[in-house]
């Protein structure tokens, strides 16, 4: 499904600020696989997501999605195939438009029917049924401006907008990090349900190590633009937070940066 080989990205090359963000990175995801991504600040996690999403082109290497080389496809061309959520709940929605209007635009764009505001009864019922599954009461607020929603409600809406027509790949870039613990847990439950229901191939960045070891079926750790650990199966099931940190220290000969890494 997702096939990445020898991916390299160097920022400010040839200057004192030169930084290798991705260092000949290799990664393969099978269809329907849910992989969590962890690593200290500057490990290259978000840079990897930006390369996959088309925010910039890599210096070398290739990215294949569902058998097609998308390495140099423009970002807008990938948008119909790749859903992406960011840490900031304000991204991904139009705050001055209603919940229904946001969903209608996302749905029509994903269906390649051209952007349109008119919503037929069938689509409206579909939106209501989809929102009702969240248990947040959003199905009764379809005419509310999105800017009036809480961060958790807005992130849940963005998640639905990104998956209302199931994408080939879903990228979750710390999408619960800005939420309070209870709301983050709720949004994470919604995420797991949507991924499971639609069998979405998913990559999720998180700084919560415990969550990284329990969500999905595989965990990768990045450092200095490389994947240094790749855990799945029994090895992942038996891994503890302490064990993972010790494994990192033994492999990299340094202590994992805990400034933003959450142990629980």
Q: Which residues contact 60 (CB under 8 A, 6 or more apart)?
A: 6, 7, 8
Please give the average per-residue pLDDT across 195-201, as a whole number: 95
In a domain, 152, yes or no: yes
Quote the domain boundaries for residue 127.
93-166
Write down the pLDDT at residue 106: 87
Q: Is the pLDDT of residue 262 over 50?
A: no
In a domain, 53, yes or no: no
Which residue did the predictor score with more confidence, 117 or 105? 105
In a domain, 149, yes or no: yes
Please give the average per-residue pLDDT across 188-210, as a whole number: 94
d(CA 47, CA 22): 7
Please give the average per-residue pLDDT across 194-209, as a whole number: 95
Q: Is the pLDDT of residue 259 over 90?
A: no
Distance of CA 199 to the CA centre of its chain: 15
d(CA 206, CA 1): 22
Write down the pLDDT at residue 8: 98
The structural domain count of the chain equals 1
Residue 146: Cβ-neighbour burial (10 angstroms; 0-12, 13-18, 19+): buried
Three-class SS state of 151: helix
In a domain, 106, yes or no: yes
Which residue did the predictor score with more confidence, 113 or 12? 12
Tell me the pLDDT tens digit for each residue of 125-158: 999 999 999 999 999 999 999 999 999 999 999 9
Tell me the pLDDT tens digit for each residue of 228-258: 999 999 999 999 999 998 888 887 766 655 5
pLDDT confidence tier of residue 38, bands split at 50, 70 and 90? very high
CA distances from 244 to 30, 74, 139, 205, 252 (A): 24, 37, 41, 16, 12
Q: How many CB atoms lie within 10 A of CB 129?
A: 10
In a domain, 104, yes or no: yes
Residue with tokens 């379809």: 142
Please give the average per-residue pLDDT across 165-189, as a whole number: 93
d(CA 121, CA 137): 19
In a domain, 176, yes or no: no
Return the percentage of the chain with pLDDT > 70, whole number: 91
Three-class SS state of 109: helix
Q: Where are the alpha helices (DSSP H) in the chain?
A: 45-53, 75-78, 99-110, 121-132, 151-163, 181-198, 209-214, 233-237, 241-252
The structure's pTM equals 0.91
d(CA 264, CA 205): 16
Write down the pLDDT at residue 141: 95
Q: Is the pLDDT of residue 226 over 80?
A: yes
């Amino acid at each position: 499904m997702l096939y990445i080989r020898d991916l390299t990205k160097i920022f400010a090359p040839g200057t004192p600020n030169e930084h290798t963000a991705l260092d000949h990175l290799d990664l393969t995801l099978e269809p329907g696989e849910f992989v969590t991504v962890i690593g200290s600040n500057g490990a290259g996690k978000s840079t990897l997501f930006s390369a996959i999403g088309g925010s910039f082109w890599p210096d070398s290497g290739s990215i294949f999605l569902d058998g097609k080389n998308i390495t140099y496809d423009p970002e807008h061309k990938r948008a119909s195939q790749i859903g992406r959520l960011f840490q900031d709940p304000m991204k991904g929605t139009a705050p001055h438009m209603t919940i229904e209007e946001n969903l209608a635009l996302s749905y029509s764009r994903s269906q390649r029917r051209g952007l349109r505001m008119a919503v037929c009864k069938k689509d409206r019922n579909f939106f209501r049924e989809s929102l009702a599954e969240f248990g947040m009461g959003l199905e009764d607020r379809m005419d509310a401006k999105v800017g009036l929603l809480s961060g958790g409600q807005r992130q849940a809406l963005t998640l639905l907008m990104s998956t209302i027509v199931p994408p080939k790949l879903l990228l979750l870039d710390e999408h619960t990090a800005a939420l309070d613990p209870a709301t983050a847990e709720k949004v994470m439950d919604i995420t797991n349900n949507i991924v499971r229901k639609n069998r979405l191939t998913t990559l999720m960045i998180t700084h919560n190590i415990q969550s990284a070891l329990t969500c999905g079926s595989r965990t990768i750790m990045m450092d200095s633009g490389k994947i240094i650990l790749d855990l799945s199966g029994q090895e992942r099931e038996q891994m503890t937070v302490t064990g993972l940190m010790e494994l990192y220290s033994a492999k990299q000969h340094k202590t994992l940066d805990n400034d933003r890494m959450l142990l629980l």
